Structure 1
Amino acid sequence: MTWLLLPSSGVGGIQPKSYPCFKVQFWSNLPLPYQTFDGDNLMGEHANTLASQVSAEIEARIRAGGLAVGARLPSLRQGAQQFGVAKNTMVEAYDRLVARGVLSVRPGSGFYVRQQFPAPAIPERPHLQQAVDAATLLSEQLERRFRTRIGEGRPPSAWIEGVVATRHLRQALAGHGGKSGQHYDDPAGYLPLRETLAGMLAERAIKVDPTNIVMTFGGNHAFDLIIRQLVRPGDPVLVESPGYYPLFAKLKLIGARMIPVTRTLRGPEPAMLDAAAKASGARVFFTQSLAQNPTGGSLDLPTAHQILRVAEENGLTIVEDDIFGDLLPATAPRLAALDGSQRVLLVGSFAKTLSATLRVGYVAGPPQLLGALQAMKMLTVVNSCGHTERVVNATLADGAYRRHLGRLRRRIMDSAGILSAWARELGMAVHVDPAGGYYAWLRLPDGVSDSDLARRAAERDIFLAPGSIFYPDGSPGQSRHLRMNVAYAGDARVPRFLAEQCFG
């Protein structure tokens, strides 16, 4: 039996009537322009819109019970006539419904309504909800809804646009022999890029062989691999407090037990690290030595030596985040350089300095740890993207990246000066390093809640990053600080808002 689909008012002004060979199904409130279009002229977005409308209306009627399971739909030609669209539009509409599982195809017979099954119940996962709560700030950074964005973690697009040029894309494609690259790359990543990175790390006194570098889809992917390899549910893990909140979300997701270690502007507190390691039995410590997120503080040499001594005494593996490594002096203290690649995994990325969309990062460290990480990478994503790694390597190879870093350092220095100036005028204490990364740690006056202030700012279309989110438990009111991105310090709305809200 064939179903004839007609709107209740007819098509093109013609009233529907019964036909002996069809069972007529009248459709009401069909939101379609019932006029015939020339199929040859239905191109691009217009055709796509019509196909979406047709498929949406058919699906709505099916889900409302207008068509029973197993009912046969009109042929493509009949459907096109009845909806007043071209046949190719009807093909697209039916294909969409097949892809969504609403219809099934019987070769030589036609399209039929499929049995609909309810979505499987999602098991309760309290760790997932905790991770989502901890990543709220990251969600806003991705959606970019606010006009003023001094709480942003990344630089403005204008600061990094144009570094990757068309010639770099052409060179990357040429690296595949001019082909599309329909093959699997080395699971460790593009070897010439790993060789380039080994040279760059050597400038920072970090001696690592290219075979002991594994490329990743950015720094967060590197953390994910490390956590999967080194951490099990319920394991104690040492983290900086305040520290990197997306890391906290990943650890909550796996069900790890975070042990906070106070972070000062000179680095993690060595005595607290030692006590926490001994009391908890933790074997992994995550830290960001330089231009730390959120405080902007950097490790000094005496503290670095003490941290390594504590790590050796307690058998700790250190995961060192060096996300701003390319911006900072090669002589700045790094645990990976002082350790000699014994117990430190170094995580790097180009997201903050070159391009967030390319998603290229890496892990470097001792071979006994890198081999397991490479295996974990193969099991989870097979390999990283050879195309993007070739683009990054081309950008590094011709000097464009080094010139860009020089411009970026000057911009950071100028913007840090602007932020320091208006903070001083407001009488607010702030830590900002003009030769560091993007972050400044602004102290709020007594009695001002960072979380409440961030909510009031959101009402004014201002995005602030409250300090509380950077603590492992994320408790509101735990901090009287804001993390500020110096790149957005020139927006006059920020100091005006702070003056009004903090000082009346």
Structure 2
Amino acid sequence: MPHSYLHGETAADIAASIERAVRLEHVLPGDRLPSVRDAGELLGVSRNTVAAAYGRLRDAGLLIGGPGRGGMRIARVHPFEGRALELPSGACDLASGNIDSAFLPRLEHVLTDVDLRSSGYDAESDDPGFVALLRERLGFEGLDTRHLCLLSGALDAIERALRTHIRPGAYVLVEDPGFPPLFDLLRSLGARLKPMPMDGEGPTVEGVAAELRGGGAAAVILTPRAQNPMGVDISPARARALTTLFADHPDMLVILDDHWGPLSEHSLAMLPPRHGRWLFIRSVSKFLGPDFRLAIALGDEVTIDRIRRQHALGPRWVSRLLQRMAGALWQSPETEQQMEKARFAYRERRKAFLATLAEHDIPAMGTSGVHIWVPVRREAELVQAMLGLGWALQAGEPFRIDSPPAVRIGLANLTVDSARKAAQDLAQCLTGPRRFLS
């Protein structure tokens, strides 16, 4: 009997039966669920009951799709960002979200200048020299550095802020397409995702306004520069418009994840609000190295105080050895040279890739950072076609909530010449007989 795994008379029971079927592999990623109407008739319940069950699973990331032609399908399990991908021998990895490690500064150049003595439990929580450096560098960018704390990465900062601010079932505005680990984190906290549609200047004003009109948004999370996966900065005009919208919602926590930081080619256009609840995060992962697991969080006094209190119950502090090493690297002339090389290399790879696509009239996003986003018609088929040509791309599905199909291309493992070649092969796939272009 088709769909015999479906059971229950309530939304909770129906959702549980589907979760059980996924766990026991009675249904597989990509399998389509019956329509709301068909499932209701099969179970003898109302369409609203089935829709509520499907909605729960979609919010939890177990289902994708919607009520339209494609229907609801079992979500695929995607590798966490940064996890090593299993690629065929000889394939060039354009799928992972990594940076080019050739541009990371070398720690041995500054170790002799770092105080490597370990401190005790009674030492001051943060290294005074590192905190002074942060206040100088971030203050120069126009940021309010009065209230500051150090955490183990951007997602750590976001999680701690949200745990103090939202309850299960709360709505959080997120970029669509956006960052899959963030989606997973929010769902693990019981949050309900409200997607903000994106264009070349950031979240659209109309889309954000529509979500805010619905009311009830507890937080909004934005990427001011080098947004992953689209590779765009929030423009000055868009920043002004969004700031005006947020001013009418002073109780909403505004989170800015500036992960690209000093590698950016443009200054920050989107700054935290002057009043209300806010958090600004600057991770050192992209310019000093992911293994530092270190992020700087600025915010209003209440938000930072709550994060500090929560952090003190567990880790208590971020390693002061790491702080001193990060401070020495950040101030090193070699680091600035490496960052300048990275800006130039990423810019030239990006220009070469986009220019080649433009020669074939293929639209793409990617004006900042290390990713390019190309709208397509059929993601999976295109990924397979490119893999046959030696290029491993990332299907856009894990990055999308309601946004249309696309693929993400990472620039870390390309040169200018290979960027042109990859774009040429992509153009052939998109404009050839099978036409994967959106």
Q: Specify the TM-score bucket, using the shorter chain as the normaliser.
A: 0.7 to 0.9
- 1:332 alignment counterpart: 268
- 1:237 alignment counterpart: 172
Does the C-alpha gap of structure 1 residues 285 and 186 become closer, same or farther in structure 2, counting only changes over 3 Å? farther
| Number of residue pairs aligned between Structure 1 and Structure 2 | 359
Contact 1:416 1:489 in 2 (8 A): no
Pick from 140, 144, 147 the counterpart of residue 207 of structure 1: 144
Rg larger for: 1
Q: Percent identity?
A: 19
Hey, what's the Cα distance between the residues in 2 that align with 1:318 and 1:325? Answer: 18
- Displacement of 1:135: 7.0
Pick from 196, 204, 207 the counterpart of residue 272 of structure 1: 207
Q: Does 1:194 align with 2:131?
A: yes
Q: Does 1:472 align with 2:413?
A: no
Contact 2:356 2:424 in 1 (8 A): no
- 2:99 alignment counterpart: 155
Pick from 480, 486, 493 the counterpart of residue 411 of structure 2: 486
**SS in structure 1 at match of 2:103:** helix
Contact 1:240 1:286 in 2 (8 A): yes
Higher relative contact order (CA 8 A, sep 6+): 2
Pick from 47, 66, 78 the counterpart of residue 136 of structure 1: 78
Contact 2:151 2:157 in 1 (8 A): yes
Q: Does 1:443 align with 2:375?
A: yes
- Displacement of 1:181: 4.0
Question: Mapping of 1:327-406 within 5 angstroms?
Answer: 327-329=263-265, 331-336=267-272, 339-340=273-274, 342-406=276-340
- Displacement of 1:223: 1.8
Does the C-alpha gap of structure 1 residues 241 and 129 become closer, same or farther in structure 2, counting only changes over 3 Å? closer
- Displacement of 1:468: 2.4
Hey, what's the Cα distance between the residues in 2 that align with 1:425 and 1:264? Answer: 21
Hey, what's the Cα distance between the residues in 2 that align with 1:207 and 1:329? Answer: 21
Hey, what's the Cα distance between the residues in 2 that align with 1:185 and 1:343? Answer: 30
Structure 1, unmatched stretches of 5+, are 1-124
Q: Deviations over 1:441-490 (max 9, x none)?
A: 2233xxx31133235545666432222221237xxxx5332222233343
**SS in structure 2 at match of 1:238:** strand
Q: Deviations over 1:121-174 (max 9, x none)?
A: xxxx978774996872425x32243342112212122232xx1331423433x2
Q: Does 1:407 align with 2:341?
A: yes
Contact 1:203 1:330 in 2 (8 A): no
Contact 2:154 2:259 in 1 (8 A): yes
Contact 1:130 1:249 in 2 (8 A): no
- Displacement of 1:284: 0.6
Hey, what's the Cα distance between the residues in 2 that align with 1:194 and 1:449? Answer: 48
Does the C-alpha gap of structure 1 residues 206 and 134 become closer, same or farther in structure 2, counting only changes over 3 Å? farther
Contact 1:213 1:362 in 2 (8 A): yes
Contact 1:130 1:253 in 2 (8 A): no
Give TM-score, length-normalised by structure 1: 0.65
Hey, what's the Cα distance between the residues in 1 that align with 2:80 and 2:144? Answer: 33
Pick from 86, 110, 125 the counterpart of residue 168 of structure 1: 110
- Displacement of 1:251: 0.6
Contact 1:348 1:361 in 2 (8 A): yes
Hey, what's the Cα distance between the residues in 2 that align with 1:138 and 1:243? Answer: 14
Hey, what's the Cα distance between the residues in 2 that align with 1:128 and 1:306? Answer: 31
Hey, what's the Cα distance between the residues in 1 that align with 2:167 and 2:128? Answer: 31
Q: Deviations over 1:214-239 (max 9, x none)?
A: 11112122122122222221111111
- Displacement of 1:175: 4.7
Q: Does 1:463 align with 2:400?
A: no
Contact 2:103 2:338 in 1 (8 A): no
Hey, what's the Cα distance between the residues in 2 that align with 1:134 and 1:200? Answer: 42
- Displacement of 1:408: 1.1
Hey, what's the Cα distance between the residues in 2 that align with 1:145 and 1:207? Answer: 43
Give TM-score, length-normalised by structure 2: 0.74
Hey, what's the Cα distance between the residues in 2 that align with 1:455 and 1:207? Answer: 47
- Displacement of 1:246: 1.3
What letter matches 1:320 in structure 2? L
What letter matches 2:86 in structure 1? R
Question: Mapping of 1:220-235 within 5 angstroms?
Answer: 220-235=155-170
Hey, what's the Cα distance between the residues in 1 that align with 2:266 and 2:248? Answer: 28
Contact 2:224 2:268 in 1 (8 A): no
- Displacement of 1:372: 0.4
Hey, what's the Cα distance between the residues in 1 that align with 2:249 and 2:235? Answer: 21
Hey, what's the Cα distance between the residues in 2 that align with 1:133 and 1:252? Answer: 14
- 1:501 alignment counterpart: 429
Hey, what's the Cα distance between the residues in 1 that align with 2:154 and 2:77? Answer: 16
Q: Deviations over 1:4-50 (max 9, x none)?
A: xxxxxxxxxxxxxxxxxxxxxxxxxxxxxxxxxxxxxxxxxxxxxxx
Could you tell which deviates more after superposition, 341-350 or 484-493?
484-493
- Displacement of 1:425: 4.1
Structure 2, unmatched stretches of 5+, are 1-55, 64-73, 434-438
Hey, what's the Cα distance between the residues in 1 that align with 2:298 and 2:405? Answer: 36
